[in-house]
Amino acid sequence: MTGTSGALLEVDGLSVTFPSEDGEVHAVRDVSFAVEPGEVLGVVGESGSGKSVSLMAVPRLLPGSARVTGSIRFDGTELVGAKPETLRGLRGSEMAMIFQDPMSSMNPVHTVGRQIAEARRAHASVSKDEAWRDAVAALALVDIPQPETRAKQYPHEFSGGMRQRAMIAMAMVNKPRLIIADEPTTALDVTVQAQVLEVLDQARVESGASLVLVSHDLGVVAGTADRVQVMYGGTIVETGPTEEVFERPRMPYTVGLLSSLPAVDQIGGRLHPIPGAPPSLVSLPPGCSFAPRCPIVEDACREAEPELVEVGTGDAAQRSSTIGTDHLSRCRRWDVLAEGSTENLFSRTEVPA
């Protein structure tokens, strides 16, 4: 559970609450995960499941009202409770963030090149000329044509896809070791999304950085992430190697997410959203937070929230763990999913006993 691995980022027992008029909002509940150097971790889950809050806690970008407990170690340094200077030193240099809306993160009154150069100079003692050259190189890295000319333009002179690539350039200019990208392409046209993701992946591969990628698009996660983390009701409900989780889901919620996707060969085919709504994060049910929507729920599921347990094949099976390298599920009945086909789980009229 502690820093035994060679992980770059180790999050252990992270919880985040916000005060609200109705009571405490339990936005993130006891979340533990690790990201190895060079690894890509995909984070998926419905809206409001705690994806952004859990990741914004890492560089401490949450509003002051947030109460954060647990441990976040970056390259062995504890960040929870660390001095603001420590975080400032890491943000934008060792760890970079890419958000959905590049317009809100770019200053409209400065040229794109100047902003990237300033990001460079904020963390490295280089001359203005050198920083400018680095900015142009970063724009070239993300496939911006004629980067010298483009660097002298303002954000509004860029298309949406180019702005997002410029954001990636700004994130990469200091050669971060960790990139946190929260829905980096959601605001873009579908055709542009693919190009931007390709550029991000290429930049990541070239720099050897680790990437945490939040995406609503399971196809994108399947194509990019080494491991995937499925979030529901503020916590991780399933995690493991991407292929293993997507091919052998062991948590009904993951099955539901996967079957709500139209298959590639069935464009225009029916979507099967999971019936019901996510739980209130103010008053969570005592048991499994997915129980009210689960097709294989039984009484015991409503009593206590299940632990994350090892569900992978091989010797590790059955071993309980909080930070694992293998496949974990927070379902008491994962073996039911292991036994039968999960394809029609949500359209079954009869729930297996």
Ligand X SMILES: Nc1ncnc2c1ncn2[C@@H]1O[C@H](COP(=O)(O)OP(=O)(O)OP(=O)(O)O)[C@@H](O)[C@H]1O
Binding track, positions 31-60, relative to Mg ion; x by CB under 5 A: ---------------------x--------
Q: Which stretch binds ligand X (CB under 6 A): 43-51, 87-95, 150-158, 295-303?
A: 43-51
3-state helix, strand, coil in the chain (%, to 5): 35, 20, 45
Within 8 A by CB and 6+ apart from 291, the residues are 285, 297, 301, 302
Question: Can you tell me which of 42, 50, 176, 256 binds ligand X, judged by CB under 6 A?
Answer: 50
Does the footprint of ligand X cover residue 64 (CB under 6 A)? no
**Mapping DSSP to helix (H, G, I), strand (E, B) and coil, where does residue 237 land?**
strand
Q: Which residue has the tokens 């954001």?
A: 167
Site for ligand X (CB under 6 A): how many residues? 14
Q: Sheet holding 25-35: strands in order across? A: 25-35, 9-18, 67-74, 77-78
- Nearest-CB residue to Mg ion? 52
Check if the beta carbon of residue 234 is closer than 8 Å to that of residue 26: yes
Name which of residues 242 to 271 contact Mg ion (CB under 5 A). none
Closer CB to ligand X, 49 or 329, in the complex: 49
Cα dihedral 218→235→208→327 (10° resolution):
-70
Name which of residues 275 to 304 contact ligand X (CB under 6 A). 281
Check if the beta carbon of residue 52 is closer than 8 Å to that of residue 31: no
Q: Which residue has the tokens 């079954």?
A: 348
Smallest separation, CB 229 to ligand X (Å): 11
Does the footprint of ligand X cover residue 11 (CB under 6 A)? no
Question: Can you tell me which of 52, 115, 215, 224 binds ligand X, judged by CB under 6 A?
Answer: 52
Binding track, positions 12-41, relative to ligand X; x by CB under 6 A: ------x-x----x-x--------------
Binding track, positions 280-319, relative to Mg ion; x by CB under 5 A: ----------------------------------------
Q: Which residue has the tokens 């909002």?
A: 25
**Mapping DSSP to helix (H, G, I), strand (E, B) and coil, where does residue 199 land?**
helix
Check if the beta carbon of residue 320 is closer than 8 Å to that of residue 310: yes
Smallest separation, CB 133 to ligand X (Å): 36
Closer CB to Mg ion, 52 or 185, in the complex: 52
**Mapping DSSP to helix (H, G, I), strand (E, B) and coil, where does residue 72 land?**
strand
Distances (CA, A) of 220 to 61, 76, 306: 25, 30, 29
Does the footprint of ligand X cover residue 45 (CB under 6 A)? yes
Query: What does 281 interact with, of Mg ion, ligand X, none (CB < 5 to 8 A by kind)?
Result: ligand X
Residues that bind ligand X in the complex, under the rule CB under 6 A: 18, 20, 25, 27, 45, 47-53, 63, 281
Residues that bind Mg ion in the complex, under the rule CB under 5 A: 52
